[in-house]
Amino acid sequence: MTMNTLATIIAEVQDVIGIVTGIRTAPDIPPEQIAGGGVVALVYPATGRFSEIAPGQEEGLHTLHLMLATPYANMRTDWARIIGLGDTVPRALLAAGTMTATIIQINELRYTFGNLEWGGQPMFGWMFEIDILLTGSVS
């Protein structure tokens, strides 16, 4: 089986995140600016590597960034809107398992919390780093 593309994996992660209560939108393609209130989930590649593990077989170790953020409006409401997602989102990702066989395994999820930025727009929320393992054929 040919290894899935990063774009396919990102779309699957967005599908899992998009059904979590409290997330307003999880677009497959990130917008230039985040409009209105509510929490937006954005997933994109951060770092990674590809290697040949056997003739014709490849392995991909990738770190994806998952930003769960809301535009700054009022710290009290922003905090209430975003804080609980730090527990529910990792659980949703880990419970999703192999995400219909596109990901072999999620190795680790790390996070930072606080000020963020998207397209020059100040945001507030979580930045998760998701380490994933993929394997497949080179062809």
Q: Report pLDDT digits (tens) over 15-51.
A: 999 999 999 988 888 888 787 778 999 999 999 999 9
pLDDT for res 98: 66
pLDDT for res 5: 82
Per the model's pLDDT, the better-predicted residue between 4 and 127 turns out to be 127
Q: What is the pTM of this model?
A: 0.87
Q: Report pLDDT digits (tens) over 84-124.
A: 999 999 999 988 876 666 667 888 999 999 999 998 989 99
Q: Using the predicted structure, report yes or no on whether residue 138 has a pLDDT greater than 80.
A: no
The DSSP secondary structure of 60-118, one letter per residue, reads: EEEEEEEEEEEESS-HHHHHHHHTTHHHHHHHHHHHTTTTTTT-SEEEEEEEEEEEEEE
> Mean pLDDT, to the nearest integer, of 68-88?
89
Largest Cα–Cα distance in the chain? 56
Q: Report pLDDT digits (tens) over 60-69.
A: 899 999 999 9
Neighbours of 88 (CB within 10 A): 15
Per the model's pLDDT, the better-predicted residue between 88 and 136 turns out to be 88
- Tokens representing 10 are 């990102």
pLDDT for res 101: 64
